[in-house]
Structures are given as structure tokens and as C-alpha cells.
């Protein structure tokens, strides 16, 4: 079902979408893909649907407050921000611009995970992405044979030098959404937004 978006709703959605994410301020909420809907009721009442990156995300309250401030600056007197958990947010919801901004700020963006249809596969793998697969999908020299069926995930590439030769240092970094990794080529540590 397609709903009609008024010019006021489009303007307010741009304003709410321009709010920076409190944990990844290099991204806006629109680029992060957490804004689901915006509806104007009357002349000065608005309702916004916001999906957190994961249930219990501590940044949701800050996001909601920042959205309220942004929309009040655009003349909305009554602003309600609802937390919506379905459909669940995925790192595939980050826009191409958001992925570019992450990479340029030194954070490895998440790899694309969403299949065309069906359930989202979950694979637990090694902490190193050394070797990995080449651009044509063949195993790189020195890569051990696969032990599980299915395609190997893309390696996590260093945002500094682009090397696929990286290792996991910690499953959690400055936020629960990120892991801490190190490049084995340039030796630089970097954050990686984990795939969800």
C-alpha cells in the first residue's frame, strides 16, 4: 500500500532525517535507515516511527529527543516519536551514502547480508579474514578449505588501506554495534559496524 506524502511531511522527514546519529555522528538518521515513517495530523502535530538498530539500543532516547527538537524548530507543537520494532532494522538499511561516509571516516562499513527472500543466514566464522576470497570469488592463496557449505562471507576490509588481511580484536568496540579490528597489512586498528 502506497501512502501519499504531503510536501510538509516530506520537508519534516528531511529535517528529522538530517539529525546526526548520537553513536555514529558521521551519519544522519536518514543515512542510518532508522526513520520508518512520518505522519502530520492537523497543522502542528506530527508522529514519527523510529526503529532502533537493536532492541535495547541506549541511543534511541537521544534520537527521539533530537528528532523532537528538529521538528519543533520547523513549527510542530506536538511531536510523538514511536519506537517500532517491525520490520527489524538491518545494516542493509544504511544508505550507499552512509556506507561511503563510514569508510571515509575510518570505520569499516558492514557487508551486505540480506538475501533476496527468506530468513537471514547467521554464520559464525574465524576472527581473521586473512586470505578470504579474491574479487572473482575464488579462494585466495593460503586460504584453508571451507568447512561449511555455502559461500564464504566477504572479508572485512581495512578502511585505511583496503586490505582484506584483518583480524578481530574485540567483538565490541566503543558501542555494541561495532567491533574492533586490526589490519595486518598497515597495522592500524579500526572499528567495523557489525552486520545485523
Per-domain residue ranges of the chain:
7-83, 95-113+127-137+153-196
For the chain, what is the mean pLDDT? 85
- For the ranges 13-27, 76-90, 102-116, the lowest mean pLDDT is seen at 102-116
Answer whether residue 131 shows pLDDT above 80. Answer: no
Instruction: Please give the class, per CATH, of domain 7-83.
Output: alpha beta
Percent pLDDT > 90 in the chain is 66
**pLDDT, mean of residues 87-116:** 89
Query: What is the Rg, in whole angstroms, of the alpha carbon atoms belonging to the chain?
Result: 19
27-83 pLDDT, tens digit per residue, is 999 999 999 999 999 989 999 999 999 888 889 999 999 999 999 999 999 999 999
CB neighbour list of residue 127: distance below 8 Å, 6 or more residues apart: 167, 168
Pairing of the two strands 178-183 and 166-170: antiparallel
* Environment class of 159 (CB within 10 Å of its CB; exposed 0-12, middle 13-18, buried 19+): buried
Q: What is the pLDDT of residue 175?
A: 85
State whether residue 141 is helix, strand or coil.
Answer: coil
Amino acid at each position: 500500500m502506497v501512502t501519499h506524502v504531503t510536501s510538509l511531511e516530506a520537508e519534516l522527514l528531511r529535517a528529522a532525517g538530517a539529525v546526526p546519529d548520537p553513536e555514529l555522528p558521521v551519519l544522519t538518521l536518514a543515512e542510518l535507515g532508522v526513520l520508518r515513517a512520518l505522519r502530520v495530523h492537523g497543522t502542528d502535530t506530527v508522529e514519527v516511527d523510529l526503529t532502533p538498530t537493536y532492541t535495547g539500543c541506549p541511543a534511541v532516547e537521544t534520537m527521539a529527543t533530537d528528532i523532537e527538537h528538529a521538528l519543533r524548530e520547523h513549527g510542530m507543537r506536538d511531536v510523538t516519536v514511536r519506537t517500532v520494532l517491525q520490520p527489524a532494522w538491518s545494516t542493509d538499511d544504511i544508505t550507499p551514502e552512509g556506507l561511503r561516509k563510514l569508510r571515509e571516516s575510518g570505520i569499516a562499513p558492514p557487508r551486505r547480508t540480506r538475501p533476496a527472500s527468506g530468513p537471514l543466514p547467521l554464520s559464525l566464522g574465524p576472527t581473521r579474514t586473512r586470505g578470504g576470497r579474491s574479487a572473482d570469488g575464488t579462494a585466495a592463496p593460503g586460504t584453508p578449505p571451507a568447512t561449511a557449505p555455502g559461500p564464504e562471507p566477504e572479508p572485512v576490509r581495512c578502511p585505511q588501506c583496503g586490505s582484506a588481511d584483518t583480524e578481530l580484536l574485540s567483538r565490541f568496540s566503543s558501542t555494541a554495534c561495532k567491533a574492533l579490528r586490526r589490519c595486518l597489512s598497515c597495522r592500524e586498528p579500526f572499528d567495523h559496524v557489525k552486520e545485523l
